[in-house]
């Protein structure tokens, strides 16, 4: 897991076209940076309307905020502007192409505080910037495995080196499923219960298979064989079979299921032993279908146990 970060210049370049941003002062402050985990979850916010008590990282000045500044006497106004600047925001953004007050421009220029102007309304700036910053700075982690879309859900295939992950992925591709990332998929927690998986740019469209080398999946199977991103819903772990039978016969009914913690989420996990003669592609498809059923509240093992208990009750002692 690592902390993501973004500078004022990166944010400006990423949102300039969408929000029509113009940089009017503080160009030397483009290297100002914020990191994930560097702010309190509630106060201050990543982006919000002008707040001198709990300064937001990106301060938006709409008509009401500028009118409030105009209502202050000269001393209060300067003290307020100085307090805003001292909080070292990532940027100040004025909405609706309003004229920038000269004292605010001068303070921003002197302190190298990025000051932008946009034609968008305040609530539009708030929505766009809050979403973009939250997604950019969300906690993220890189896991080892092959991330695929199987029956429309994101499935991460993990296992030890040589367990057959890439060969399994290749067979699943030939059966119409799609590749997201091989070897080092990156997962970002974009919501309390959502992990979004993507592929590093270096590995885009590529799959490494022992004996064949690196394959370009897009060129071999077509554009529909790759997916840009997918939410992680299931982990299928390939493992070597145990030398001795499991002492828990109950697993014969329920399967080897559990969870694995990824960032703050517990992701369902199904373990499949790798043995000669087993069709892992079919088993992985079945594991995915089983997971889909369980998310709908249908558990075949629980149904069988309930039937068995009911039968025993009817037969009596």
165 is catalytic: yes
Pairing relationship of beta strands 47-49 and 58-61 according to DSSP bridges: parallel
From 226, 147, 134, select the one nearest 189 (Cα to Cα).
Answer: 134
Catalytic residue (choose from 165, 177, 178, 291): 165
30 appears as a binding residue in the annotation = no
Q: 10 Å Cβ neighbour count for 299?
A: 14
Question: How many angstroms separate the CA atoms of 276 and 280, rounded?
Answer: 10
Catalytic residue (choose from 252, 278, 307, 308): 252
Question: How many angstroms separate the CA atoms of 6 and 26, rounded?
Answer: 17
159 appears as a binding residue in the annotation = yes
227 is catalytic: no
Catalytic residue (choose from 43, 144, 278, 308): 144
Which residues are CB-neighbours of 212 under 8 A, at least 6 positions away? none
163 appears as a binding residue in the annotation = yes
Angle at 197 between CA 195 and CA 200, to 5 degrees: 145
111 appears as a binding residue in the annotation = no
Question: How many angstroms separate the CA atoms of 205 and 197, rounded?
Answer: 14
What 8-state DSSP symbol labels residue 285?
H
244 appears as a binding residue in the annotation = no
Question: How many angstroms separate the CA atoms of 166 and 182, rounded?
Answer: 8
128 is catalytic: no
Q: Six-digit token pair at 28?
A: 């030397």
208 appears as a binding residue in the annotation = yes
161 appears as a binding residue in the annotation = yes
160 appears as a binding residue in the annotation = yes
Catalytic residue (choose from 120, 132, 182, 183): 183
291 is catalytic: no
Question: How many angstroms separate the CA atoms of 256 and 105, rounded?
Answer: 63
Q: Six-digit token pair at 242?
A: 């145990």
CB 235 within 8 Å of CB 156 = yes
174 appears as a binding residue in the annotation = no
List binding-site positions for Mg(2+). 166, 208
Return the active site residues: 144, 165, 183, 252
List binding-site positions for ATP. 159-166
């Amino acid at each position: 897991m690592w902390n993501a970060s973004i500078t004022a210049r990166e944010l400006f370049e990423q949102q300039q076209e969408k929000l029509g941003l113009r940089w009017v002062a503080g160009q030397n402050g483009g290297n100002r940076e914020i990191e994930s985990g560097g702010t309190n979850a509630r106060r201050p916010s990543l982006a919000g309307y002008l707040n001198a008590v709990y300064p937001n990282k990106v301060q938006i000045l709409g008509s009401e905020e500028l009118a409030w500044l105009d209502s202050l006497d000269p001393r209060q106004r300067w003290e307020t502007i100085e307090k805003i600047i001292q909080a070292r925001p990532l940027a100040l953004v004025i909405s609706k192409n309003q004229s920038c007050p000269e004292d605010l421009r001068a303070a921003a220029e002197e302190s190298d505080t990025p000051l932008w102007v946009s034609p968008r309304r305040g609530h539009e700036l708030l929505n766009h910037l809050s979403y973009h910053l939250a997604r950019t700075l969300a906690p993220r982690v890189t896991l080892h495995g092959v991330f695929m879309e199987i029956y429309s859900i994101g499935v991460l295939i993990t296992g030890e080196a040589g367990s057959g992950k890439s060969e399994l992925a290749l067979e699943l591709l030939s059966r119409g499923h799609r590749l997201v990332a091989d070897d080092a998929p990156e997962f970002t927690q974009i919501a309390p219960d959502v992990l979004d998986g993507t592929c590093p740019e270096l590995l885009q469209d590529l799959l490494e298979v022992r004996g064949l080398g690196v394959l370009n999946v897009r060129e071999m199977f077509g554009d529909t064989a790759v997916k840009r991103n997918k939410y992680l819903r299931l982990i299928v772990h390939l493992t070597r079979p145990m030398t001795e039978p499991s002492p828990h016969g109950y697993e014969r009914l329920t399967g080897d299921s559990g969870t694995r913690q990824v960032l703050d989420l517990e992701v369902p996990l199904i373990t499949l032993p790798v043995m000669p003669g087993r069709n892992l592609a079919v088993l992985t498809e079945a594991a995915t279908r089983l997971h889909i059923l369980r998310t709908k509240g249908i558990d075949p093992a629980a149904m069988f146990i309930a039937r068995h208990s009911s039968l025993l009750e009817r037969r009596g002692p």
